[in-house]
Copies of this chain bind each other. A is one copy, B any other.
Amino acid sequence: MIMKEAVLQTLRQGDCISGETLAKVLGISRTAIWKCIRSLQREGYQIESFHGKGYRLIGRPDLLLPKEIKAGLRTNLLGQQIAYHQEVSSTQDAAKSLAAQGANEGTIVIAETQTAGRGRIGRDWASPPGGIYLSIILRPAINPSEAIRFPIIAGVAAAQAIEQLTELKPELKWPNDILIRGLKVGGILIDMSAETDRINYIIIGIGINVNTESLPHEIKGIVTSLKTECGKEVSRVQLAQDILVQLESLYQIFEVSGFETIRKRWKALSNTIGAWVSVRGERERLDGRAMDIDVDGALIVQKADGTLERVISGDILGVTGQ
């Protein structure tokens, strides 16, 4: 297995390389090289063999395999440990379980599909193949009351990663949706385990409709995918890597400089601030103009009578113009 990874590593450099050279460099027989190549091909790697010249890697499988995500991943913390599932009930629940068993900060759980994907407040999250279903374990040395900032941090990271890779213009809808042209392309979910004084762990869940085709009928017209918006497939491995890099960077900013920079970026990416909104909050429905998010990530709404209301959690039912 290790030998196969070494062959793949060598082919990743992009050149055409002969079986003989590979065998010499890696110190194994040409037959062993040939077996590695066959095995990689079965995994979905497209390796061309030019008679007399050698092998060349011309395509990688569209799978979120740990070795793909780790190849060239420019992070120090996030994704250094990866739990990968073809199918899992929920990456969030799998990550919780790993975190409770003591998994390191930065460990991620990633899956091709989820059978019981969760959204906020116990809602379902459709998780067909082609999406990214990613959960990240963090252990910030902060007070539990600061945890409500993490949907904001993760939303900015995901939006920046999408923008960088696709040149689409994602928008953030309070509290945790990622939109393109007003349609939902992704969402954020935060779970935490805490004492009064400290956080044991936070799990950041990020779900993105990347090349997803088979979304449930009842959410058509509400959701979209990056493939639909771009008119072509988007590399899920690249996007997952970019999200990890962006999130690690924002997490460092948060730890060193606090929340203010991130709050400003969120506001710049937001479709909510400045708009007339109808919010179903914890206790009642509220209409007004979304003015700001505050230092905790709570939404500040100005009602028709001019008074300001602070909404810690809720759903925006309608955005009726800027």
Q: Is A40 an interface residue (CB 8 A)?
A: no
Interface string of A106-130 (1 = CB under 8 A from B): 0000000000000011000000000
Closest B-chain residue to A282, C-beta based?
Answer: B143
Please tell me if A151 contacts chain B, counting CB pairs below 8 Å: yes
Cα separation A181 to B155 with both chains bound (whole Å): 51
> A86-118 CB contact bits vs B (8 Å, 1 = yes)?
000000000000000000000000000000000
Stretch touching chain B among A48-56, A132-140, A185-193, A247-255 = A185-193
A313 touches B196 (CB 8 A): yes
Known: A145-B296, A145-B312, A312-B145. A175 touches B196 (CB 8 A): yes
Alpha-carbon gap, A150 to B197, bound state (A): 12
Residue of B nearest to A296 (CB): B145
From residue A255, how far is it (CB to closest CB) to chain B in Å? 13
A144 close to B144 (CB less than 8 A): yes
- Give Cα distance in the complex from A189 to B175, angstroms: 30
Looking at the complex, which one of B143, B176, B194, B296 makes contact with A194 (CB distance below 8 Å)? B194
Q: Is A223 an interface residue (CB 8 A)?
A: no
Contact B145 A148 (CB under 8 A): yes
In residues 34-92 of chain A, which contact B (Cβ within 8 Å)? none
Residues of B within 8 A of A150 (CB): 196
Q: Do B192 and A144 touch across chains, with their CB atoms under 8 A apart? A: yes
Q: Which of B190, B193, B194, B196 contacts A196 (CB 8 A)?
A: B190
A198 within 8 A of B: yes
State A199–B200 Cα separation when bound (angstroms).
Answer: 15
| A275 close to B (CB within 8 Å) | no
A192-B189 in contact (CB<8A) = no
Q: How far does the alpha carbon of A190 sit from the alpha carbon of B121 in the complex, in Å?
A: 22
- A215 touches B (CB below 8 Å): no
Q: Are A197 and B121 in contact (CB under 8 A)?
A: yes
Contact partners of A300 in chain B: CB under 8 A: none
- Counting chain B CB atoms within 10 Å of each CB, the highest count among A151, A189, A196, A296 belongs to A196
9 nearest A-B pairs in the assembled complex, by CB-CB distance: A197-B313, A190-B196, A145-B145, A143-B312, A193-B193, A121-B197, A151-B196, A148-B196, A192-B194
- Subset of 25 A-B contacts with CB under 8 Å: A120-B195, A120-B197, A121-B195, A121-B197, A121-B198, A143-B312, A144-B145, A144-B148, A144-B192, A145-B148, A145-B296, A147-B194, A148-B196, A150-B196, A151-B196, A175-B196, A175-B197, A176-B196, A189-B195, A191-B193, A191-B194, A192-B193, A192-B195, A194-B194, A198-B313
A120-B196, A198-B313 given; 19 more Cβ-contact pairs under 8 Å = A120-B195, A143-B282, A144-B144, A144-B145, A144-B148, A144-B192, A145-B145, A145-B296, A145-B312, A150-B196, A151-B196, A175-B197, A176-B196, A189-B195, A191-B195, A192-B193, A192-B195, A194-B194, A196-B313
